[in-house]
Amino acid sequence: MKWYQKPAAILIALLVLIPALGMSSCNTSAALTSSVTTLKTTTMQTESTSESTLPIVTEIETIAPIETTSPETSATIMQTVSGGVLRVHYLDVGQADSEFIELPDGKTMLIDAGNKGDGSAVVSYIKNLGYSTIDYLVATHPHEDHIGGMATVINSFNIGQIYMPKVASTTQAFEGLLTTIQDKGYSIITAQAGVQIAPGINILSPGVGSDYGNELNDWSAVISIVYGSKTFLFMGDAGTDPESSFTIDADVVKISHHGSRTAYSASLYSKLSPTIAIIDVGAGNSYGLPDEEVIQGLIAVGATIYRTDTNGTIVVESDGSTVTIKSIESTTPVAPATTAAATTPKETTAATTLAPVLDTGTGEVYKTKTGSKYHSDGCSYLSKSRIPISLADAKAEGLTPCSKCNPPQ
Amino acid sequence: MKYIIDRFEGNFAIVELSDKTFVNIPKAAIPPEAKEGAVIDVSVDKGSTEARTEKINNLMGDLFK
């Protein structure tokens, strides 16, 4: 049944909005718009005992299947992305998801674009990396914390292919995304299992013919990127139902649904056995995320956990045989590259080339209908009205920074 | 006024208001049958308001000297 065939309106006689409960804490969205410094740098030689026998290959024909635990896995491993360095940016967009990926062949990919108010910060981040094209754009599912900023992204870049699961939301945010795609003359490729975005980049879920009804999280496009011997998995907000349909051994996993127990299955994480787990989650969110049992479950399978609420934007790169992690925190000034305390030449190189120079003048902040202050996303003063505005415009209107949430200045 | 349920997280529904902003509403204040995507129509129930006002006024009238 289509959404518009459902009862269109549900009457509530009296309903009081609870404005005091913000959707995320102060300082979350500020992360992308401020200066950066590298907080910590860790080179992780993930368990690659077979490293020497698994050269980074550039021709599909030369790749030997290494994991054959399931047909999907072997099919995935047969093709890998090729070229130089794979670099994944897990953007700190507060209580929302966005991952920007620099592929080894020079192409780019964006999975989700944060909340509506995060769009311009996501755009600034990518442009500051020097890109004007997003070759592969994926909206994992139509929830606003994943697609809210995507219309702004589409209006700001040359877009190659757009992938979305064929499921609707009735929100203006989703409608706005669709009309933006329409206005630009683009079309949408249905995201479903078996679709290959590019060699080595595959959609694992939702399964062909699967119907998750109103459970939009479960419609999430789940994507794997295989490079050499390393696999990155992006799970959107997929729950345990779709998760049970795919099996893959992954090295770096974007944990599903901001670390919610609704997406947690011990057997799945046992199968995935990630070395590195990334949780996109907003500091002080109202939903208790991430759930402690997810954290404990990840620790139990030996994963090292990184979180955008505590680590800020997280950058991970791989040369196909190793994985290197960086955490970029946004609230302190840019540190000279030489103070990144790199302990190996590799890290030094990465530190100087990875940290984008972020423009502090175009940040997205929020104002209220009547207040004289501007705020970071999630500030409790935004409970009654929350109007996105660029930092420059906020200043131009004479607004001053909130003393409570310390927005960018 | 109307708003749209975008999603549920924990004890909250996150709804989109007509001005395209998003706010949390406790699940307890949402009809249990309302799913994601449901358009919620909020209005003042004048009849119930008047009935409640009359009932409370009557109660107060009995109590105040």
Residues of B in contact with A23 (CB under 8 A): 14, 22-24
Sign of dihedral through CA atoms A67, A81, A102, A133? negative
Select from A44, A23, A40 the least CA-distant residue to A281. A23
Q: Show which of residues 12-51 on chain B sit within 8 Å of chain A, judged by CB atoms.
A: 12, 14, 16, 19-26, 29-31, 33-45, 48
The edge-to-edge listing of strands for the beta sheet with A276-279 is A196-198, A201-205, A222-227, A230-234, A252-254, A276-279, A304-307
Could you give the ipTM of this predicted complex? 0.87
Q: What is the pLDDT along chain A (409 residues), one digit of tens a residue?
A: 444 444 444 434 334 444 434 444 334 444 454 433 333 333 344 333 333 333 333 333 333 333 334 444 444 444 566 568 999 999 999 999 999 999 999 999 999 999 999 999 999 999 999 999 999 999 999 999 999 999 999 999 999 999 999 999 999 999 999 999 999 999 999 999 999 999 999 999 999 999 999 899 999 999 999 999 999 999 999 998 887 777 788 999 999 999 999 999 888 889 999 999 999 999 999 999 999 999 999 999 999 999 999 999 999 999 999 999 876 654 332 222 222 332 222 232 222 222 333 333 345 787 777 778 878 877 777 777 777 777 777 777 778 788 777 777 7
Domain spans of chain B, in order of start: 2-63
| A94 HSE (CA, 13 A, CB side) | 32
Closest-CA residue in chain B for A174?
A: B6
Tokens representing A318 are: 């791989």
- Return the CATH number of B2-63, one of 1.20.1070, 1.20.1630, 2.60.40, 2.40.50: 2.40.50
pTM of the model: 0.69
CA dist list (Å): A387 to A35, A122, A330:
23, 17, 22
Residues of A in contact with B45 (CB under 8 A): 13-14
Q: Number of residue pairs across A and B with CB atoms under 8 Å? A: 111
